[in-house]
Structure 1
Amino acid sequence: MITVTSAAGGVGRLLVRQLAAQNAPVRAVVKNESQAATTRRDGATEVVVGDLRSTETLDTAMSGADVIYHAAPTQVIDERPIIEHLIASAPSKGLKHIVFHSVIHPNLHQLTHHHQKDIAEGLLRESGFPTTILRPSHYMQNYLEVWEFLQAGVMPYPVSPDSVMGVVDLADVAEAAAKVLIDPSPHTGKTYDLSTVELTRHQMAEIWARVLGHPVTAIRIPPSALTNSLDALPAIPAVIGHAVRSTKLNSLAHIVRGAQAASNPRDMKNWPDDARQAYRTMMTHYDGHGLPAGDLSVLPSLLGRTPTSYEDFARRSSAEFGYSNR
């Protein structure tokens, strides 16, 4: 049995599907009954509904499983109690291996999310428990949050268009994770960077322009707008101006829908205040410094193929959304 936490998240859903496609029994851990129904459709064999911060949920998730893939939701800031309980209880529950979903460059201690991952990695290494650590880069899918704007010809995001970001396709992360979970022994004690390519958002916008068939302009939204929406107001004229020049009147409906989606990205309004502030701080750092990729040779080796390029990701995503380049 393989347990997948945060099984209704971006990586989790794809990972459950990957494992189910290979006939691996999957126990999915989700936070509510709606997510439970989703993960069952994705192929989960068993479902645990609960809070990862609950020791009862963790014990149920581990019991009788051979390996666990642990990925905490972004809004969970302090992972130490979760990791400490996994380490302490794993042997008695029959667990043999932990695969930990970390982040690229966890040594960026000025960023709470990265620092917490570094603490968790240290606890796992010090425990001596069989562990594999995966460090994915910034997800290509993060930019699908502005899909409506992309169709209008603009790519607004709370990071400078000039910042260099290492990115990776979530589907590739899930495929690599599935390979480790199905046969974890060769990966014991290993730490893997999962990065595909480095791009600025200007370069991403050029790729989207080729895919969508109209000009796309990358626009910076102040990271402070993540916690104070009024800070986005100065960028609105640029968004509308570039959109109208790119896609004319066709842009208007997309701008309206994009603005509605941007009013509560990732459901952040329901996150704890410390999680919102930590996310804003992280985006502010990326805005000024970017986020370099890790070792680009690792992912091809794990996958046994060339990772998905940003353009292939954009074309696949456009097709999944039913977009036609008219």
Structure 2
Amino acid sequence: MIVIMGAAGATGGATLHSLAALGVPTRALSRDPGRLAATLATALDRPARDRLAPARPEIRPADAADAQSLRAAFHGARQLFLTMANGPHQVRYELNAIEAAVDCGVEHIVKVSAPAAEPDSPVAVSRGHHLVEERLRSSGIPTTVLRPYAFMQKLLLLAPGIAAAGVVHSAMGTARCNYVDVRDIGDAAAAVLTRPELSGGTYPLTGGRAYSHPELTALLGELLGRPIHCVDLGPSELHAHLTTRAGMPDWLATHVVEIQQLARVRRETPDDTLHRLTGRAPRTLEAFLTENLHRFR
């Protein structure tokens, strides 16, 4: 049995669907199991529901802040897929999950981390991932680490501004960003969870091409048939824009600015790891934007 933490999130949900497509038994955890069940039912179309019926996940209640509920949810599980939403409590929640996994005899953990998970990373969330990775190394449980770059799905957060004003605000200048589709992350996770020869590694996950924000807006403009402009701001200006105009909480706006500043000093280049894990090329940014173009109109 594979336990999926963060099953209601982007990477957890994608991994759940990838494993279901392979017919692999899974146990999805949520503080609100009824809501998760409804979300999963809606996410699968009728033919997919019929095809995946034998592998539909077992849904269990669990709260990452409650060690007892985690131990109950992990009972009898052999593997754990660990991904929690970025936020002020992420490190504590993931450490709680590791302790419960140790107590329950989990044999393999796949953790979704970050590219710059280093003790001196300029990105606070990445420093948190480093702390969790350190605990995993000392836990004695064999661990596989996935390090995806920026999710294509996060670009949908830009859609309202683009639809209303045709503008993207950035503090990256001409630095390029690796974008990867979360569905590809799910497929990569499913590969390392079902193929023992892949376990134990640390895998960076990118799309096939890195894009600057000017290149991104040019592509969007071409697909939409109208000009889209990139407005380059300083870090503090972007932070103010994200908190006041976009309504982001302070920690998240800080995270976005830190990531963009890191891209300016650490060049991001595509990697072929995802192709090696899944046996196919990653989804392209153009295909993703085309699929979701109605959101940007």
CA distance in 2, matches of 1:172, 1:129: 25
Residue 195 of structure 1 pairs with residue 206 of structure 2: yes
Q: Distance in 2 between matches of 1:155 and 1:48?
A: 42
Q: CA RMSD in A?
A: 2.6
1:52–1:166 Cα change, 3 Å? same
Contact 1:53 1:82 in 2 (8 A): no
Offset of residue 86 of structure 1: 4.0
**Normalization by structure 1: what TM-score?**
0.76
SS at match of 2:144: strand
- When residues 228 and 281 of structure 1 are mapped into structure 2, their CA distance, relative to the original with a 3 A threshold, is closer
Q: Quick check: 1:168–1:194 contact (8 Å CA) kept in 2?
A: yes
Match of 1:38 in 2: 39
Deviation per CA, 1:140-196: give whole Å up to 9, x if none: 11111122333356242454353322221111111111111222x212320000112
Corresponding residue of 1:16: 16
Q: Give percent identity, aligned residues only.
A: 25
302-311 vs 220-229, greater mean Cα deviation: 220-229
Which residue number in structure 1 is paired with residue 46 of structure 2?
none
Q: CA deviation at 1:97?
A: 0.7
Decide whether aligned partners of structure 1 residues 226 and 49 sit closer, same or farther in structure 2, where only a CA change above 3 A counts: farther
1-side partners of 2:167 and 2:181: how far apart?
Answer: 18
In structure 2, the partner of 1:125 is: 137
Q: How does 1:1-326 map to 2 (within 5 A)?
A: 1-32=1-32, 33-39=34-40, 41-42=42-43, 44-80=56-92, 82-83=94-95, 85-107=96-118, 109-152=121-164, 154-183=166-195, 185-196=196-207, 197-220=209-232, 222-225=237-240, 228-229=243-244, 232=245, 262=246, 264-265=247-248, 268=249, 276-277=250-251, 279-290=252-263, 292-293=267-268, 296-318=271-293, 321=294
**8 Å Cα contact 2:170/2:213 also seen in 1:** no
- Quickly say closer, same or farther: Cα 1:112–1:289, change in 2 above 3 A: closer
- After the TM superposition, which of the residue ranges 52-61 and 109-118 deviates more from structure 2? 52-61
Partner AA of 1:223 in structure 2: L
Is 1:36–1:49's contact at 8 Å kept on the other side of the alignment?
Answer: no
Question: CA separation in 2, counterparts of 1:292 and 1:166?
Answer: 10
The question of whether the paired residues in 1 share the 8 Å contact of 2:193 and 2:199 is answered with: no
Deviation digits for residues 63-106 of structure 1, max 9, x if unmatched? 111211100111244515633x4444435524211000101111
Maintained 8 Å contact 1:151/1:212:
no
Task: Give the distance between the partners of 2:94 and 2:154, measured in 1 at CA.
Answer: 26
Corresponding pairs, count: 278
What amino acid does structure 1 have at the position aligned with 2:85? P
Kindly provide the amino acid, as one letter, of the partner of residue 240 in structure 2: A
> How many Å apart are 1:294 and its aligned residue?
6.2
Distance 1:75 1:289, change over 3 A: closer
Gaps of 5+ in 2: 44-51
Measure the CA separation in 1 of the matches of 2:295 and 2:176. 29
Which amino acid letter does the alignment assign opposite residue 293 of structure 1? E
1:104–1:293 CA contact under 8 A, matched in 2: no
CA contact (8 A) 1:175 1:303 kept: yes
Q: Which residue number corresponds to residue 254 of structure 1?
A: none
Of 85-94 and 24-33, deviating more is 85-94
Which AA in structure 2 matches 1:178?
A
Q: 1:130, 1:189 within 8 Å by CA — same for their partners in 2?
A: yes
User: Is the Cα–Cα contact under 8 Å of residues 209 and 215 in structure 1 kept in the other structure?
Assistant: yes
Deviation per CA, 1:286-323: give whole Å up to 9, x if none.
343426436602111112111112112211222xx488
- SS of the equivalent of 2:292 reads helix
Return the alpha-carbon distance in structure 2 between the equivalents of residues 157 and 50 of structure 1: 38
Superposed CA offset, 1:196-215 (max 9, x none): 23211111111112222222
TM-score (norm 2): 0.82
Over 3 Å counting, the alpha-carbon distance change for 1:60 and 1:158 in structure 2 is farther
* 2:238 counterpart letter in structure 1: P
Ranges in structure 1 where 5+ consecutive residues have no aligned partner: 233-261, 269-275
**1-structure distance, mates of 2:73, 2:37:** 14
Query: Alpha-carbon deviation of 1:58?
Result: 1.9
What is the identity, as a one-letter code, of the residue corresponding to 1:195?
A: T
> 2: distance between equivalents of 1:166 and 1:28?
29
